[in-house]
Structure 1
Amino acid sequence: MFDPKKLLDDLLGSQIPGTSGTVRDKAGQAVQMAKDNPLAAGALAAVLLGTGAGRQVTGTAVKLGGLAAIGGLAYKAYQNYKAGNAPAQTPAAGEPELLPPPADTAFHPSQAPQGEDEFTLTLVRAMISAAKADGHVDDEERQKIAGKLSLAGIGTEAEQFLMAELESPLDLDTLVAGAKTDAQKLELYTASRLTIDPDTRAERGYLDLLAGRLGLPDALVDHVEATVSAAKVPAGTSPNPRW
């Protein structure tokens, strides 16, 4: 069985423990060796989205690792929402770096009632569902993704899991049911929003539908939007925005 937490790290381009680079770098090296360049724009999320444009997670969020970063961003958004602060999409001067969620809160991975690995898989599924939101992942795109995943070095089982999820029809009921607590519902939405920037009606509509099904108040969603936006920077553009 593959490690769900490592896969989540790979999807967000988080640093790989024990190395000086990220899966983004490793994938780029593999592609260069193959005299091709499909992964140069970003981590596995770029493969799933089929684009090198948009924005990517950066800074402390990358260093924390996928699970802690998602929990930290969701917790930060929740704290700002409860404090009645206005959403701010740019970090304030001198603002402290993003921290993992406190261990005594429902946002900490150790508090997951279904276990860390199971909830991590739910977050991965949420990211894949978001990646499919604009409908561009057709049969031809899936074939291209399969070829590029084999270059990313994530392992056969992880590849098979991602491809199976890509080929599965959207099941929002099962996805939403995978979040067992209010904190997990917010984390699930945060992971989805980290995956995509809602530049199309389909993507915006998907996120709005997801927030509604999760029962998230509009004001809380606004804080997630602001918190995620502040954690992302423009990614390098590619001369071929799809592939």
Structure 2
Amino acid sequence: MIDPKKLFEDFLGGGANKSGGPAAGGKGSGWTDNLGTLATGALGGGVIGLLLGSKKVRKFGGSALGYGGAAVLGGLAFKAWQDWQAKRAPAPAQAPVQQPLALPPPSSPFDLETQSAAGGGDARIAVVRAMIAAAKADGHIDATEQRALFDRIGQLGLDTEQKAFVMDELAKPLDVAAIAALAATPEQAAEIWLASRLAVDPDDPREKAYLDDLAARLKLPDGLAAHLEAQASTVG
């Protein structure tokens, strides 16, 4: 059986702090001040780095080290949701920030480690599926690239089940409706969209169209996508 936590962290390549910091997904008042990464491919060795290819590899800077990717993603989505509910104007695009970011409350709808996706699956696995699909949205993963990815994935430290899962997802036809159907709650819809946004180049028209279609199918409330985009701009 796949360990959702291990799959999530191995896929993203960020992992938890190996030097005694809080464990992945640990709860506290905020992030540490050290530089950390989420989707760092070359730095973290995650599968997402292979999928992004020549695209800009995105990092969660400043505040992520010591926490797993699920906690970081949940924190960013939670902040976007709070700003949207408060009817604040979305922040303009900015460079990666080093300021603390509050963790979502334990067992809240934004706590991926305690939530189930639609159909009862683990929410973290749903997010991994969403990121793989988004990485394919520009069509650059053709049959030749897919074979090369399979070879490289085989060299990573994934177990047999993890490798099979990733390869199966890569081989599936792109189906935005199926990805949208993974969200069990509006909060999960926000996290799935944000994770997808972090796996694309928003300046590519095909990927921008995919994000717009996904937002519509997820039924994101008016204005929420702009706040999620603002949070995405804080990682670089």
TM-score, length basis structure 1? 0.78
Note if 1:132 corresponds to 2:136. Answer: yes
Aligned length: 219
When residues 79 and 180 of structure 1 are mapped into structure 2, their CA distance, relative to the original with a 3 A threshold, is same
Note if 1:211 corresponds to 2:215. Answer: yes
Q: Would the aligned equivalents of 2:15 and 2:69 in 1 still touch at CA under 8 Å?
A: no
Q: Would the aligned equivalents of 1:101 and 1:107 in 2 still touch at CA under 8 Å?
A: yes
Mapping 1:90-129, distance limit 5 Å: 90=94, 96-103=99-106, 105-109=108-112, 112-114=115-117, 118-129=122-133
Larger RCO of the pair (alpha carbons < 8 Å, separation 6+): 1
Q: Report the 3-state secondary structure (helix = DSSP H, G, I; strand = E; otherwise coil) of the residue aligned with 1:64.
A: coil
Which structure dedicates a bigger proportion of its chain to helix? 1
Give distance in 1, aligned partners of 2:54 and 2:112.
30
When residues 24 and 130 of structure 1 are mapped into structure 2, their CA distance, relative to the original with a 3 A threshold, is closer
**Structure 1 residues without counterparts, runs of 5 or longer:** 28-38, 234-243
**Structure 2 residues without counterparts, runs of 5 or longer:** 21-35
Give distance in 2, aligned partners of 1:145 and 1:175.
22
2:8: which partner in 1? 8
2:31: which partner in 1? none
When residues 221 and 62 of structure 1 are mapped into structure 2, their CA distance, relative to the original with a 3 A threshold, is farther
Q: Report the 3-state secondary structure (helix = DSSP H, G, I; strand = E; otherwise coil) of the residue aligned with 1:153.
A: coil
Identity of aligned residues (%): 40
Per-residue deviation, residues 55-104 of structure 1 (Å, max 9, x unmatched): 333232354212111111111001011112222233798x8412321125
Q: Report the 3-state secondary structure (helix = DSSP H, G, I; strand = E; otherwise coil) of the residue aligned with 2:106.
A: coil
2:29: which partner in 1? none
Note if 1:143 corresponds to 2:164. Answer: no
1:181: which partner in 2? 185
* 1:223 aligned to which of 216, 224, 227: 227
Q: Report the 3-state secondary structure (helix = DSSP H, G, I; strand = E; otherwise coil) of the residue aligned with 2:104.
A: coil
Give distance in 1, aligned partners of 2:138 and 2:214.
14
Give distance in 1, aligned partners of 2:196 and 2:99.
24
Q: Would the aligned equivalents of 1:130 and 1:196 in 2 still touch at CA under 8 Å?
A: yes
2:77: which partner in 1? 74
What is the Cα-based RMSD across aligned positions, in Å?
A: 3.0
Q: Report the 3-state secondary structure (helix = DSSP H, G, I; strand = E; otherwise coil) of the residue aligned with 2:64.
A: helix
When residues 51 and 80 of structure 1 are mapped into structure 2, their CA distance, relative to the original with a 3 A threshold, is same
- Please tell me the residue identity of whatever aligns with 1:60: S
